[in-house]
Amino acid sequence: MHDFHVGIEHITRVEGHGNIVIDVKDGKIKELRMEIVESPRFFEAMALGRSYREVAHITSRICGICAVTHTTTSIKAIESALGFAPSEQTIRLRKLLLNAEFIQSHILHVYFLTAPDFFRVGSVFGMVKDNKETVLRGMRLKSLANDLCALVGGRHIHPITLKIGCFSKSPRPDDLAAFRERIINARPEIQETVEFFKTLKNPEFERETEYISLTNPDEYALYDGVIKSSDDGNTSPDDYIDRVKEFMVTHSTAKHAKSGKDSYMVGALARFNNNHEQLHPRAREVADELGLKHPCYNPYMNNVAQVVETVHCFEDSINLIDELLSNGIEEEKAEFTPKTGRGVGATEAPRGTLYHEHKIDDDGKITYANYIIPTGQNLANIENDLRSLVPGILHKERDDIIMDIEMLVRAYDPCISCATHLMKVKFVNE
Amino acid sequence: MNNMDKTVVIGVGNLLLKDDGIGVHVINELEKCELPPDVEIYDGGTGGFKLTDLMQDAERVIFIDAVDTEMLPGTITTFKSEDVRSVYSMKKYSLHDTNLLEVIKTVEILDNPPEIIIIGVQPETIDYGMELSIKLKDSMPDIIDTVLNLLLVTKLKPGNKKIMDNSMETKLP
């Protein structure tokens, strides 16, 4: 196919909306752009003038799927500005809560959004007829993770126990021990998940890019670390602005980002490429079983990296619960006197590194806020992948080309703008 | 296994987008009300598919959400998923391609799903901000009445699975 034009409105099954326009003439790409039909984010402006105590609850509302990560990152930025270091117990509980968010988000993505592509059924509902038990397994694992979120975070959606300095309420040891057993009992279903994804073959495509994630000498970095570039070494989160260079493009209202190269990737595959040796041993075995080899330059394999991370987060949660139980769990309190300061929080969200920067004054009011979400960082890289992918698949049928393009975008698990879902309905009787 | 008497009320929407957050504002008001036993209320925020975990052991679920029916702001439409012919997510503000009807469809995959009713409120303003529009503030008592009336039916008909027949109801502001 020498001439090809496609305008794909609303890449379905991604969280947010993006249109893709690709124009090929005589086998050459004339135009390729991922249009983001979203308003710029004004969430930073909403934080200005608010108390430093309120801002985490506001940012938890930016996204219902990554609410734990937004809240945690916001709190870390405020604690940094106040010069406060939380206790080991608080850090372990935050890590446990973050694991719960990773599991539910990854399970949702791979079962509900990615898997239907392999069956060519359009949505997860199309899988119910022939693969109902698979869908139900995905729902059960998602529910397990959400129950962990409720146990530690106080509720299933938008956690309320996360506070600056500590948790407002700690989970009871008995409940944590019981949950440990639930995870152990879920291992067969986790393995069935691995077996299921072994049967799904991702498209073959490679393009090496720069991979950016947090890294931490002590663990597979999700909660905390310094910023690692696969090309260019490490950077302190305080200097994130030197690493994440945001820029505007005319065809998108969302900011794009680059670092050393003209684009970079964040998310599960970037974390795997940067830190795979620190994954739990069982997760490394799963990576081998699923054919994910280090380094991996195939962005479609982000889906597989998410399955690997799911296994890691389950096993890491068992270890965290053991540590919490053996050290004993106490109710904690933390008091602060606000003072002028600047703080940066950097945390891995399921979709990649999330940055929150806050400045506060002596009254504890927010005077500056900057939030950089993962998907904004991936947009330029998605476009570069598409520029590399499309010329090599023009020999395929049109529908297959479109499927390859959509699957690539979905593999990034984009969450283009953290906003909402207002339904516009037409009724049967209208 | 469903709890034969459990009714779950879930308000959904984004508190940072003015009228989109109406469902959550309603939950905040309901917390001040005396509710019948076996009623649980939840702030569902923008939980998407996470909402299914609040619904799985309920006999009945009542959602409150901002819904664009192209009617006057504050119009309250009570309906079920089968009343809807088509649904669009608004491009401009969409986070989740997952809309409420897809969440409901997911729960209906389960055996013995709950009866699900949606109280849709026509928004006036969907924009960045945490305050409701005046028109939706004015509609709040009517929305609360609509919820409480549905819960009253539940109380009057204990053990009855259905609390609403399939006819939609529309209440103009």
User: Residues 3 to 62 of A: which have CB under 8 A from any B CB?
Assistant: 10, 12-17, 37-39, 42-43, 45-46, 58, 61-62
Mean pLDDT in residue range A252-279: 92
Mean pLDDT in residue range A2-27: 67
User: Residues 67 to 86 of A: which have CB under 8 A from any B CB?
Assistant: 67
The residues near A191 (Cβ < 8 Å, ≥ 6 apart) are none
The SS3 assignment for A301 reads helix
Q: Between helices A302-327 and A268-275, what is the axis angle to 10°?
A: 70
pLDDT of B103-153, one tens digit each? Answer: 888 888 888 889 999 999 999 988 888 999 999 999 999 999 999 999 987
**Cα separations in angstroms, B102 against A136, A422, B126, B170:** 15, 13, 21, 23
Mean pLDDT in residue range A268-295: 98
pLDDT of A135-164, one tens digit each? Answer: 999 999 999 999 999 999 999 999 999 999
Q: Is the peptide bond before B173 cis (omega within 30 degrees of 0)?
A: no
| Dihedral angle over CA of A123, A126, A127, A132, nearest 10 | 120
Q: B-chain residues within 8 Å CB-CB of A10?
A: 91, 97
Structure tokens at A26: 């005589």
Please give, rounded to a whole number of angstroms, the shortest distance from the CA of B138 to a CA of chain A.
21
Please give, rounded to a whole number of angstroms, the shortest distance from the CA of A20 to a CA of chain B.
14
Reported as a pLDDT band with limits 50, 70 and 90, residue B29 is very high
Please check the confidence at residue B165 and state whether its pLDDT lies above 70.
no
Q: What pLDDT is stored for residue A429 in this prediction? A: 57
Interface A-B, measured as beta-carbon pairs within 8 A, has a size of 189
Among B14, B66, B90, the residue with its CB nearest the CB of A61 is B14
Q: What pLDDT is stored for residue A20 in this prediction? A: 79
Reported as a pLDDT band with limits 50, 70 and 90, residue B163 is low
Q: Does a structural domain hold residue B125?
A: yes
Please give, rounded to a whole number of angstroms, the shortest distance from the CA of B85 to a CA of chain A.
5
Please check the confidence at residue A38 and state whether its pLDDT lies above 70.
no
Distance, in Å, from the CA atom of A196 to the CA atom of A60, rounded to the nearest integer, reads 33
Check CB contact of B103 with chain A, cutoff 8 Å.
Answer: no
Please give, rounded to a whole number of angstroms, the shortest distance from the CA of A235 to a CA of chain B.
31
What is the CB-side half-sphere exposure of residue A71 using CA atoms within 13 A? 29
pLDDT of A195-245, one tens digit each? Answer: 999 999 999 999 999 999 999 999 999 999 999 999 999 999 999 999 999
Q: Between helices A173-198 and A302-327, what is the axis angle to 10°?
A: 160
Q: What pLDDT is stored for residue B161 in this prediction? A: 56
Asked if the Cβ–Cβ distance from A419 to B93 is below 8 Å, we say: yes
Residues of chain A above pLDDT 70, percent = 91
Q: Does a structural domain hold residue B19?
A: yes
**ipTM for the complex shown:** 0.86
The residues near A116 (Cβ < 8 Å, ≥ 6 apart) are A13, A122, A123, A124, A126, A127
**Structural domains present in chain A:** 4-37 (no CATH), 43-399+401-411 (1.10.645.10)
Q: A-chain residues within 8 Å CB-CB of B97?
A: 10, 12-17, 421
Looking at the structure of chain B, the number of domains it has is 1
Reported as a pLDDT band with limits 50, 70 and 90, residue A291 is very high
Among A132, A419, A421, the residue with its CB nearest the CB of B99 is A421
Q: What pLDDT is stored for residue B168 in this prediction? A: 79
Q: What pLDDT is stored for residue B17 in this prediction? A: 86
Asked if the Cβ–Cβ distance from B92 to A430 is below 8 Å, we say: no
Asked if the Cβ–Cβ distance from A37 to B96 is below 8 Å, we say: no
Mean pLDDT in residue range A251-268: 88
Check CB contact of B88 with chain A, cutoff 8 Å.
Answer: yes
User: Residues 244 to 273 of A: which have CB under 8 A from any B CB?
Assistant: none
The boundaries of the domain holding residue B103 are 7-171
Asked if the Cβ–Cβ distance from B50 to A17 is below 8 Å, we say: no
Q: Does a structural domain hold residue B2?
A: no
Nearest CA in chain B to A425: B87
Mean pLDDT in residue range B43-72: 90
Shortest CA distance to B126 belongs to which of B87, B90, B78, B76? B90
Q: What pLDDT is stored for residue A425 in this prediction? A: 61
Q: A-chain residues within 8 Å CB-CB of B46?
A: 61, 63-65, 157, 420-421
Mean pLDDT in residue range A29-56: 81
A238: β partners: none
Asked if the Cβ–Cβ distance from A428 to B50 is below 8 Å, we say: no
User: DSSP strand E in chain B: where?
Assistant: 7-12, 39-45, 60-68, 76-79, 84-89, 115-121, 169-171
Distance, in Å, from the CA atom of A215 to the CA atom of A146, rounded to the nearest integer, reads 26
The SS3 assignment for A207 reads coil
Check CB contact of B125 with chain A, cutoff 8 Å.
Answer: no
Please check the confidence at residue A106 and state whether its pLDDT lies above 70.
yes
Please check the confidence at residue A40 and state whether its pLDDT lies above 80.
no
Residues of chain B above pLDDT 70, percent = 82
Asked if the Cβ–Cβ distance from B89 to A424 is below 8 Å, we say: yes
Q: What pLDDT is stored for residue B160 in this prediction? A: 56
Q: Does a structural domain hold residue B1?
A: no
pLDDT of A78-90, one tens digit each? Answer: 999 999 999 999 9
Q: Does a structural domain hold residue B160?
A: yes
Q: B-chain residues within 8 Å CB-CB of A127?
A: none
pLDDT of A162-182, one tens digit each? Answer: 999 999 999 999 999 999 999
Please check the confidence at residue A133 and state whether its pLDDT lies above 90.
yes
B108 contacts B58 by C-beta, under 8 angstroms: no
Q: A-chain residues within 8 Å CB-CB of B102?
A: 123
Q: What pLDDT is stored for residue A103 in this prediction? A: 97
pLDDT of A390-421, one tens digit each? Answer: 999 988 988 898 889 889 988 988 775 543 34
pLDDT of A316-336, one tens digit each? Answer: 999 999 999 999 999 999 999
Bigger pLDDT: A242 vs A3:
A242
- DSSP letter (8 states) at residue B58: -
Distance, in Å, from the CA atom of A353 to the CA atom of A159, rounded to the nearest integer, reads 20
* DSSP codes of every residue in A63-113: -SSSHHHHHHHHHHHHHHHHT----HHHHHHHHHHHHHHHHHHHHIIIIII
User: Residues 138 to 197 of A: which have CB under 8 A from any B CB?
Assistant: 139, 142-143, 146-147, 155-158
Residues of chain A above pLDDT 90, percent = 69
Distance, in Å, from the CA atom of A355 to the CA atom of A373, rounded to the nearest integer, reads 7
Compute the 3-state secondary structure of chain A and give helix, strand, coil in percent, each to the nearest 5.
45, 20, 35
Please check the confidence at residue B52 and state whether its pLDDT lies above 50.
yes
How does strand B7-12 pair with strand B39-45?
parallel
Q: B-chain residues within 8 Å CB-CB of A417?
A: 93-95
Distance, in Å, from the CA atom of A106 to the CA atom of A141, rounded to the nearest integer, reads 10
Structure tokens at A159: 């956690």
Domain CATH for B134: 3.40.50.1450
Check CB contact of A423 with chain B, cutoff 8 Å.
Answer: yes
Check CB contact of B120 with chain A, cutoff 8 Å.
Answer: yes
Mean pLDDT in residue range A248-252: 78
Asked if the Cβ–Cβ distance from A143 to B168 is below 8 Å, we say: no
Q: Does a structural domain hold residue B145?
A: yes
Bigger pLDDT: A147 vs A59:
A147
Bigger pLDDT: A379 vs B24:
B24
